[in-house]
């Protein structure tokens, strides 16, 4: 569920950015190009207007590529913003003075969408897009002052275009950023809920493991006490062996501690319990704190050979687990004469290295995984 929510949040971020690109591209192709071609005769210098349209297109492409790769505006925003404002100035210079507020002067109403793309999802997007839109408005107002178009009708047209453009551009950015922020908050909430579920499941496993150990301790002590109470001779060799095995098992069960259960440790404990039920004397020091996260296949390769040695033990075995941040070692020494061994270390596909050594009637098996 958490992964699905995170994918939805990424889609929100991706498609809102794509929406900014689509709006700018459709506006530029559908309106800017149309009025440039249909109003060709209304320009003093139509070639300048066409060149401005091409520069606008180049800035749009650069911004679109940055959004598609990183989900945010390009790094060289200052140069691109100046190029976009230069487009505005070029179109103003290209039109005739009487067409300054006409449809042919498309630059000042259109370049704001470039600002939306260039500042998208940047850390200081609010100040960047505000500065760009303010500069764009100031350029147009200065051009009106130079051309003597500061009458009430011209000022009204100017305010309508500026207010409409700024409202759409800032409104789109604010709405999309709010949508992305809510999606990110949903992801964080999902992660917290998943962590709570994992903690709850871990606590239940810890409680069940403790109950198992307490029951096992009681069974061991109860069996030994009943045997002695029924008249068993403490001097008998068999009774002494039972008492030794019981004492070792009690010591292991009492010292066991697993606040964060690990699958590798759980498997080893199950095999140790099975060996002790076969009257094998198993020495197993406490396995310590939580083991590091293991890649797929490593746990199985670490356990395979040591578990075979433990399962084949006749009377005694010792199990140890060592771990560091990027290393885990599982070793078993057992009186197992039937386990086939390799004279050279065996490297498993997962990177686990298994070493064997036989001395007398005992075999030593050590599996080691070394992380990157």
What integer is the mean pLDDT of 48-69? Answer: 88
The confidence score (pLDDT) of residue 172 equals 81
Residue 357 main-chain phi, psi, to 5 deg: -155, 135
Query: What residues contact residue 268 under an 8 Å CB cut-off, 6+ apart?
Result: 284, 287, 303, 306, 307, 319, 321, 330
What integer is the mean pLDDT of 53-67? Answer: 88
What integer is the mean pLDDT of 205-223? Answer: 71
| Burial (0-12, 13-18, 19+ Cβ within 10 Å), 212 | middle
Cα 321 to Cα 294: distance, rounded to the nearest angstrom: 14
The confidence score (pLDDT) of residue 206 equals 65
DSSP-derived 3-state class of residue 33: helix
Taking a C-beta distance cutoff of 8 angstroms, is the pair 133, 112 a contact? yes
What integer is the mean pLDDT of 54-73? Answer: 84
Set out the domains of the chain in order of their start, with CATH numbers: 2-192 (no CATH), 262-370 (3.30.565.10)
pLDDT digits (tens, 9 = 90+) for 230-272: 877 777 777 676 667 666 666 666 555 555 457 788 888 888 8
**Given the structure tokens 């178009």, which residue do they identify?**
149
Whether residue 281 has pLDDT greater than 60: yes
Residue with the larger pLDDT of the pair 333 and 228: 333
Cα 159 to Cα 131: distance, rounded to the nearest angstrom: 18
Please give the structure tokens belonging to residue 109.
């109403």
Residue with the larger pLDDT of the pair 158 and 1: 158
DSSP-derived 3-state class of residue 347: strand
Count Cβ neighbours within 10 Å for each residue of 271-305 and write b for 16 or more, e otherwise.
Answer: bbeebbeeebbbebeebeeebeebeeebbbbbbeb
pTM greater than 0.75 (yes/no): no
pLDDT digits (tens, 9 = 90+) for 287-346: 755 678 888 889 999 999 999 999 999 988 999 988 887 889 999 999 998 899 889 999
Please give the structure tokens belonging to residue 28.
């530029």
Binning pLDDT at 50, 70 and 90, where does residue 44 land? confident
Binning pLDDT at 50, 70 and 90, where does residue 41 land? confident
The confidence score (pLDDT) of residue 345 equals 93
What integer is the mean pLDDT of 92-120? Answer: 83
Query: What residues contact residue 96 under an 8 Å CB cut-off, 6+ apart?
Result: 42, 43, 44
Whether residue 34 has pLDDT greater than 50: yes
The confidence score (pLDDT) of residue 260 equals 47
Taking a C-beta distance cutoff of 8 angstroms, is the pair 161, 108 a contact? yes
Binning pLDDT at 50, 70 and 90, where does residue 163 land? confident
Residue 332 β-bridge partners? 319, 365
Whether residue 27 has pLDDT greater than 80: yes
Whether residue 286 has pLDDT greater than 50: yes
**Mean pLDDT score of the chain, rounded to an integer?**
81
Query: What residues contact residue 267 under an 8 Å CB cut-off, 6+ apart?
Result: 303, 307
SS3 of the chain: helix, strand, coil, percent, to 5: 65, 10, 25
Binning pLDDT at 50, 70 and 90, where does residue 55 land? very high
The maximal CA–CA distance of the chain, rounded, in angstroms, is: 121
Cα 136 to Cα 118: distance, rounded to the nearest angstrom: 15
């Amino acid at each position: 569920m958490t992964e699905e929510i995170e994918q939805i949040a990424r889609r929100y971020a991706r498609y809102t950015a794509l929406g900014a690109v689509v709006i700018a591209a459709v506006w530029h192709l559908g309106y800017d190009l149309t009025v440039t071609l249909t109003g060709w005769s209304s320009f003093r210098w139509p070639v300048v207007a066409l060149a401005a349209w091409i520069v606008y297109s180049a800035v749009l492409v650069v911004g679109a590529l940055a959004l598609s790769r990183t989900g945010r505006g390009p790094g060289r925003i200052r140069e691109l913003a100046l190029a976009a404002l230069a487009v505005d100035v070029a179109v103003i210079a290209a039109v005739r003075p009487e067409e300054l507020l006409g449809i042919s002067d498309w630059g000042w109403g259109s370049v704001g969408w470039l600002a939306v793309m260039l500042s998208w999802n940047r850390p200081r997007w609010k100040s960047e897009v505000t500065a760009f839109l303010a500069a764009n408005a100031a350029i147009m107002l200065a051009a009106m002052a130079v051309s003597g178009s500061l009458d009430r009708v011209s000022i009204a047209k100017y305010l309508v275009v500026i207010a409409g453009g700024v409202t759409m551009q800032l409104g789109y950015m604010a709405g999309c950023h709010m949508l992305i922020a809510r999606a990110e908050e949903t992801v964080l909430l999902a992660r917290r809920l998943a962590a709570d579920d994992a903690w709850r499941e871990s606590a239940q496993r810890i409680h069940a493991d403790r109950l198992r150990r307490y029951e096992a301790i009681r069974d061991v002590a109860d069996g030994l006490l009943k045997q002695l109470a029924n008249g068993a001779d403490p001097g008998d060799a068999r009774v002494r062996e039972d008492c030794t095995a019981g004492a070792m098992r009690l010591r292991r069960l009492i010292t066991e501690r697993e606040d964060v259960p690990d699958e590798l440790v759980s498997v080893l404990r199950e095999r140790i319990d099975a060996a002790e039920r076969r009257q094998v004397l198993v020495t197993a020091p406490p396995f310590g704190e939580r083991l590091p996260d293991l890649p797929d296949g490593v746990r199985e390769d670490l356990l395979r050979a040591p578990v075979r040695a433990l399962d084949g033990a006749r009377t005694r075995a010792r199990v140890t687990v060592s771990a560091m941040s990027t290393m885990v070692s599982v070793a078993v020494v057992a009186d197992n004469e039937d386990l086939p061994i390799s004279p050279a270390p065996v490297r498993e596909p997962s990177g686990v290295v298994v070493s064997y050594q036989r001395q007398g009637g005992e075999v030593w098996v050590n599996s080691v995984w070394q992380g990157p």
